[in-house]
Amino acid sequence: MVSQKIGAWIARLGWIWVDGQVAQITRRPGATTVFLTLRDPSADISLTVTTNRDVLDTGAPNLGEGARVLLHAKPDFYPGRGTLSLRADEIRQVGLGELLARLEQLKKLLAAEGLFEPAGKRRLPFLPGRIGLITGRASAAERDVLMNTRRRWPAVEFRVINVAVQGPTSVPQMIDALRVLDQDATVDVIVIARGGGSTEDLLPFSDEALCRAVFACRTPVVSAVGHETDTPLLDFVADLRASTPTDAAKRLVPDFGEELRLIRYARHRLDRAVTVLLDREQHRLDAVRSRPVLARPELMVEHRQVEVTSLWERGARTLDHRLTSAAGDLSHTLARLRALSPAATLRRGYAIVQAPDGTVVRTPRDVAPGDPLRVRLAEGEIAATVAEMPPAPGPPVGAQTERARS
């Protein structure tokens, strides 16, 4: 009852065109009905398709698993097993040329949406803490990335998620892996790597859903798919395109030896710069210290000593002159003094006659007979008395005395 109602409801759905990938194909010998499992290549969704062998032979005679098909079908409910399927009346295998044309169209669409803009590209870290690697299990690509990256930077860490890199399940697996790695805070960069393959093999790497997932990633994504000449759409949307998995290693991590060399060189220059600076400053300081004012501070005193000595000498000389000339003056004055003294006259035999009161007697009129007199000679004096008075005008008494002596 319920099945009938569901069947009736589904039967009302119209004919549609469906695009998908063949996951499985079952041709039973002798049976006219062929069963296909159709899968959406981006989402992990599949649906059973039933069709007539003639329809298949007309539209897609060599249909195999993994091929892309376009089919005209109507939803059909099979009450016997309660399953929903599509009943196709036309199946066309999508050829390589058509696939490439579609890719070109998708590329234009994504470019127009800005998914390839250089401004949107994130820079890779100089030295990633951890690298997320999405690649096939035990593949050459995995080995290439791991080995070459470790050779350049031995301490590098990886978180590897192995996925199917071709076939119908590869896109959903890669999108899941991307999400896991993007959410891992320790992963600084994500690499999607795969070795070379046919254009069909590389189709998952041009998948629209994968491209959008990569664009949505907050972690930088590196595309390392196929050979140099392969350019899946992933290459355009990724933040960095490596031509091969080996090339990816070069771009992921710096070369340890090279970095070591650069550091050594930088250290050497640093050393030199500081040494040169120190030497220059030492020279400047030495130059200042060798200037006479600092190197020979005794000069400060010596210069003044010379000054003092010369001044002292000048003083002494001056004083000496003064003394000499003063001595000359003195003897001269003494000579004059002596010249003026009566002593010399007395020595020549003159005498001075004085009254007792000291008055010099110059004429007989000054004395009377009996008056005491003092006669002064060169070497002493004589006390005398006036004996008589000659008739005037006689010579002075002193003259008589003088004459009497000589």
How many residues interact with another protein (rule CB under 8 A)?
A: 18
Query: Residue 69 and residue 59: Cα distance in Å, rounded?
Result: 10
98 binds another protein (CB under 8 A): no
Smaller CB distance to another protein: residue 302 or 381? Answer: 302
> Is residue 195 a contact partner of residue 248, using CB atoms and an 8 Å limit?
no
Sheet holding 380-385: strands in order across? 352-354, 372-377, 380-385
CB of 155 to another protein, least distance (A): 17
Q: Rank residues 298 and 379 by Cβ distance to another protein and give the closer one.
A: 298
What the block records as the tokens of 73 is 């079908």
> Shortest Cβ distance from residue 277 to another protein (Å)?
9
Provide φ and ψ at 369, rounded to 5°: -60, 145
Query: Which residue reads 């590869």 in tokens?
Result: 170
Compose the 267-306 pattern: x for residues touching another protein by CB under 8 A, - for all others.
Answer: x---x--xx--x--xx-xx--xx-x-xx--x--xx--x--
Tell me how far, at minimum, the Cβ of 284 lies from another protein, in Å.
7
Nearer residue to another protein within complex by CB, 5 or 272: 272
Closer residue to another protein, CB minimum distance, 278 or 344 = 278
- Using left for φ > 0, alpha for ψ between -120 and 50, and beta otherwise, residue 226 falls in left
In the chain, what is the greatest distance between 2 CA atoms, to the nearest angstrom?
Answer: 222
Minimum gap (Å) between residue 257 Cβ and another protein: 15
| Least gap, CB of 255 to another protein (angstroms) | 20
**How near is the Cβ of 297 to another protein at its closest, in Å?**
5
Q: At what angle do helices 245-252 and 140-152 cross, to 10 degrees?
A: 30
The distance of closest approach from Cβ of residue 270 to another protein in the complex, given in angstroms and rounded to an integer, is 10
Q: Judge residue 365's burial from the number of C-beta atoms within 10 Å of its C-beta, 0-12 exposed, 13-18 middle, 19 or more buried.
A: exposed
Look up residue 8 and give its two tokens.
């009736």
Nearer to another protein, 11 or 288 (CB): 288
Residue for token digits 């003294």? 341
Q: How far is the CB of 275 from another protein (least distance, A)?
A: 7
Give the phi and the psi of residue 310 in degrees, each rounded to 5.
-65, -40
- Extract the tokens encoding 385: 């008395």
Helix (H) / strand (E) element for 300: namely helix 298-340
- Restricting to residues 250-269, which ones interact with another protein according to CB under 8 A? 267
* Closest to another protein by CB, 294 or 368: 294
Query: Which C-beta is closer to another protein: that of 228 or that of 298?
Result: 298
The residue (of 19 and 279) whose beta carbon lies closer to another protein is 279
Q: Nearest approach, Cβ of 292 to another protein (angstroms)?
A: 8
Task: Look up residue 207 and give its two tokens.
Answer: 């998948």
Dihedral sign (CA 285, 288, 292, 296) = negative
Write out the DSSP string of 180-217: HHHH-TT--EEEEEE----TTTTGGGG-HHHHHHHHH-
What are the beta bridge partners of residue 24? Answer: 37
Select 304 or 405, whichever has its Cβ closest to another protein. 304
**Residues near another protein (CB under 8 A):** 267, 271, 274-275, 278, 281-282, 284-285, 288-289, 291, 293-294, 297, 300-301, 304
